[in-house]
Amino acid sequence: MFKRMSLAGRVLGSSALLLVLAPLVARTAESAAEDTGPVANGTLPGPFPLFPPTNWWNLDVSGAPADSNSAAFISFINNGGTRRLHPDFGGDVSPGSVQTYGMPYIVVDGTQAKKAVHFLYSDESDGVNHSTNTSVPFYPIPDQAITQPHWIEGGEPGNQDLRSSSDRHMLIVDRDNKYLYELYNVFYDGTTWQGGSGAFFDMTANNRRPDGWTSADAAGLAILPGLVRYDEVYGPDEIGHAFRVTVRSTNGYVYPASHRAGSTTGALPMGARLRLKAGKDISSFPADAQKIFRAMKKYGLLVADNGSDMYITGTYDIRWNNDVLNPAFSGLSASDFEVITLGYNPSAQTPTATRTATPTPIATATSTPVPTATQPPATATPTAIPTATPTPTPTATPTAPSATATATATPTATATATPTRTPTPTKTKKRTPRSVGPR
C-alpha cells in the first residue's frame, strides 16, 4: 500500500535514491573503464569463441575417426602408470602474492603505442624486418607490464628476468581491431623488451603460421583461444573450443601446428588432438567440471607445448576454486581419451600433415612449404599482419594486405624488398619446461 509523501519525505527519498544508485554508477564506470586503455585480464571482444567458427580451435571433432596408433600414444603418455589430468590455472599462489597460476592476458585499445621486441628466434617472429634482422615497433605492450605484477605469466613484472626458469608468456588483445599479439619469454632490460619469439594473429581470420615457424607456443599455434576461461565456464553458453594441453615430449608436428620441438619416438606430434571418449560418464563431477569435460568430448585437446603430461592450460583468475577443480580433473586420466587421426582437417581432401601417422624418430617436414588454403605463404611474416609502421595504431582494416607490403615490417611504409624465405623446418626450439607447484 502506497502513502503520499510530504515534500521533506520526497527530498529524503531522493537522497536515499542517490545512495542506492551510487554503487550502480560506480560499477558502470568500472565497466566502461574496461573498454578503454590497457586492462589486465580485461573484457575480451566477441563474438565467442575467439576466431572464426571454422578455425581449428573451434572444430567439432566428436565424429572424427580415431588414429590407428591412438592406444600406443596414450600408453606413451601414461608412461607405465596412470597419468591424470591437472588444471594448469588458478589464482594467486597465496592470497595477495605476486606469483600466480594460469595465463594472464592484456586487453588494449587500438591506439596503444607499439614497442619493438628483440627476439632470440627473430627469423620466425613477427614485428621484424627479416632482411636486416631488425625489430620494429609492432607490439602494443603497455608500460604497466614493466613494473606491475600479474600482466605476464608467472606474475612477476617484466623488469624481472626469469627467462631461464619460466616461459613468461605475454598475451595482448587489441579490442578495437580484434588483433592478438603473443610473446614468449619476455623481459624488459631497462631500455628494450627482449623475447624468445612473437606472433601476430588476426582474430577474424584463420591464418596459420608458415610451416617451420613457431609462435609464442612451441607448436606455432595461438595460445589465448585454447585457454579455459572463467567467463566461459560460468557463463550461460556451452564452451565452443578445444583446450591447450602439454605433454612431456613430442615428435614432429601435424596440422594445424607448424613447428616442432622434439623428435621422441612414440610421442605425439605437436598439433595432435586428444578427445575425451564419448562413453566416459561425467555425470558425477561438479557442474563446472562437467561443462569443461563436455568441451573435451566435442572439441578435444590440442598438443601445443612440451611440459607436464595432461596439464590443461587456463587463465589466471582469482575466482577459480582449485579445491573443486583439482580433484575433478584428477578424476580423468589419459586412458579416458583417444587420439583422433593425426592432421585431421575436414576442410581439405587429405590431412595437411607434416609427418606420417606412423611414429618415427624424427618428423620430417617439407623443405619448401607450398601455400594452401589453410596455410599462408612462407614469407617473412604470415599474411594478414597490420603494417608495422611506427604509428601507434595498426591498419584499421583487418583484411590481408599484400605479402610484400608487410613481410619486411620495416618502419617505412614503402619497404617491399624483403625476399621470400624458406624456413628451416627441422629447427628445434628449446622450451623451458613448466615448473608448476602443488595447488
203-217, 254-268, 277-291, 355-369: least confidently modelled range: 355-369
**Among 53-62, 113-122, 305-314, 355-364, which stretch is predicted with the lowest mean pLDDT?**
355-364
Q: What is the pLDDT of residue 425?
A: 35
Return the pLDDT at 152. Answer: 98
Locus of grid cell 602494443? 140
In the prediction, which pLDDT does 9 show?
36
In the chain, count H helices and then E strands: 7, 16
Amino acid at 402: S
Evaluate if residue 273 carries a pLDDT over 70: yes
Cis amide linkage into residue 49, ω under 30° from 0: yes
pLDDT at 316 over 50: yes
| Res 46 pLDDT > 60 | yes
Where residue 142 falls among pLDDT bands split at 50, 70, 90?
very high
The pLDDT mean for the chain works out to: 80
Q: What is the mean predicted confidence (pLDDT) over 242-247? A: 98
| pLDDT value for 37 | 87
For 183, which DSSP code?
E
Cα(24)–Cα(100) distance, rounded to whole angstroms? 31
Given this model, what pLDDT does residue 35 score? 67
Position 27 pLDDT exceeds 60: no
Give domain limits for the chain. Answer: 35-439
d(CA 246, CA 297): 18
pLDDT per residue as tens digits for the range 9-22: 333 344 433 333 34
Asked whether residue 28 carries a pLDDT value surpassing 70, the answer given is no
pLDDT for residue 93: 96
pLDDT at 36: 80
Predicted local distance difference test score (pLDDT) of residue 423: 34
Q: Say yes or no to pLDDT of 367 above 80.
A: no
Model pLDDT, residue 368: 33
Tell whether the model's pLDDT for residue 358 goes beyond 70. no
Whose CA is closest to 241, among 55, 28, 42, 435? 55
The whole-angstrom separation of Cα 265 and Cα 362 is 8
The 3-state DSSP composition of the chain as helix, strand, coil percent (nearest 5) reads 20, 20, 65
- 270 bridge partner residues: 253
- DSSP state string for 302-364: EEEEESSTTEEEEEE-TT--HHHHHHHHHT-BGGGEEEBPTT--TTSSS--BSS-SS--SS--
3-state SS assignment for residue 407: helix
Say what percent of the chain tops pLDDT 70: 71
Is pLDDT above 90 for 90? yes
* pLDDT of 247 above 50: yes
pLDDT at 34: 55
pLDDT digits (tens, 9 = 90+) for 153-180: 999 999 999 999 999 999 999 999 999 9
Which residue is listed with cell 599474411?
A: 383
Q: 347 falls in which pLDDT band (50, 70, 90)?
A: confident
CA-closest candidate to residue 41, choices 131, 107, 138: 107
Q: How long is the chain?
A: 439
d(CA 396, CA 109): 12
Take residue 9 and report the three cell numbers written for it: 519525505
Q: Which residue has the higher pLDDT, 51 or 362?
A: 51
pLDDT at 210 over 80: yes
- Least confident range from 116-130, 344-358, 379-393: namely 379-393
Q: What are the pLDDT digits (tens) for 176-199? A: 999 999 999 999 999 999 999 999
In 249-310, DSSP assigns E strands to 273-276, 301-306
pLDDT at 383 over 70: no
List all residues 6 or more positions away from 24 whose beta carbon is below 8 Å from its beta carbon: none
